[in-house]
Structure 1
Amino acid sequence: MPGLEHTVTIDAPPERVWGLLVDVERWPERIPTVDSVERLDEGPLTVGSRTRLRQPKLPEAVWTVTELDEGRSFVWESRSPGVSITASHLVEPQAGATRLTLAVTISGPMAPVGWLMTKGLTRRYVETEAASLTRAAEDGAG
């Protein structure tokens, strides 16, 4: 299964990082690789929550939360014909800081072709998301 993983250490408490991470409706304000976010249900993220995400150079996608460990991690998945994309977000305490790991995997019959076409862009987007969340958490942005 093609994919990638990116980890950063953030000089902020895990609670702050987690709060920024799950506040997906504010991602467009914080993360330049996200044009718009529309939650398709009410309340905090839970398993089954759905979110419509628009990003530059990518088709609009609806992401469904498939796993959630409150305060620690969430995984969501987006499906399109022939491809399933899974994105995981993990927050771990680390010696007075926070370790954030973002990962993307792609599966399905069209995965090898899709990955070949989007690997570079996906890597830049994941790295930008991590850097943007780092900046927001370290600046104390809420």
Structure 2
Amino acid sequence: MSAMRGTGVRTALFTVPLVLGLLGTAAGPAAAGGSHGTRPDKPLTCREKGVDPGALVRHRSEIVINAPLHTVWKLQTDVERWPHWQTPVETAQRLDHGPFRGGSAFRWTVPVPPNPTTPATSLEITSTVRQIEHGACLRWTGPAIGEGLRIDGIHVWNFTKVKGGVRVSTEETHTGAQVEADVPTATRILREGLEAWLRDLKSAAESRAGDRPR
């Protein structure tokens, strides 16, 4: 699942929904940095597997990155280096060795600030790759667990060569008591997290010297 990144509100998703409600309801598909919001297209899949069809909290976004596919793919699958280009990611550790493949697992953490009803904590996310096609798609699942909090996520990524670079499309669903208690707000924050991830991926890939497509 995504780390629910963003400015100020990225970690709020993991707090009590009454606090989240102060942030407002779900926004439209405004897309800063070139990403695009939820679309009416059929769900993304990887090897014919997609997100949770029954999940109440879901979002889909995409962005075009002006960099070669191998650069984008390497950044996304070298999970132990996520903290180098995703500021909110505190730690990231592979739980297996060798090539990133089906069955690969990784554990990563993001901070959760204190709020009126829950203390500051660190959210630990354990993700397992369920489906993968090299250079084309990824699908991982796993829980995010903090003090008194649990969210189960399914996250799908598609990578497509296009004129000017690579179109990265992503879709994610969340289930759990906290997010399901305030679906509009949880969806809004999921949207902000996915779009921030895409912007960071774009920035990191495009900044790599000599990696511009020819």
Q: What TM-score results when the alignment is normalised by the length of structure 1?
A: 0.85
Identity percentage of aligned residues: 27
Paired letter, 2:166: T
Q: Does 1:121 align with 2:185?
A: no
User: Structure 2 vs 1, CA of residues 115 and 44 (structure 1 numbering), >3 Å: closer, same or farther?
Assistant: farther
| Higher Cα radius of gyration | 2
User: Which residue of 51, 65, 68 corresponds with 1:13?
Assistant: 68
Paired letter, 1:97: G
Any conservation in 1 of the 2:152–2:174 contact (CA below 8 Å)?
yes
Q: Does 1:64 align with 2:132?
A: no
Q: What TM-score results when the alignment is normalised by the length of structure 2?
A: 0.59
Partner of 2:109: 54
Q: C-alpha deviations, 1:66-124, integer Å up to 9, x for none?
A: 11011111111013697531011211101131101122112467762375564333222
Q: Does 1:40 align with 2:108?
A: no
Gaps of 5+ in 1: none
Q: For 2:197 and 2:151, how far apart are their aligned partners in 1?
A: 22
CA RMSD for the aligned pairs? Answer: 2.4
Q: For 1:124 and 1:6, how far apart are their aligned partners in 2?
A: 10
* Poorly superposed stretches of 4+, deviation over 6 Å: none
More deviation in 77-86 or 67-76? 77-86
Q: For 2:110 and 2:184, how far apart are their aligned partners in 1?
A: 18
User: Structure 2 vs 1, CA of residues 53 and 118 (structure 1 numbering), >3 Å: closer, same or farther?
Assistant: farther
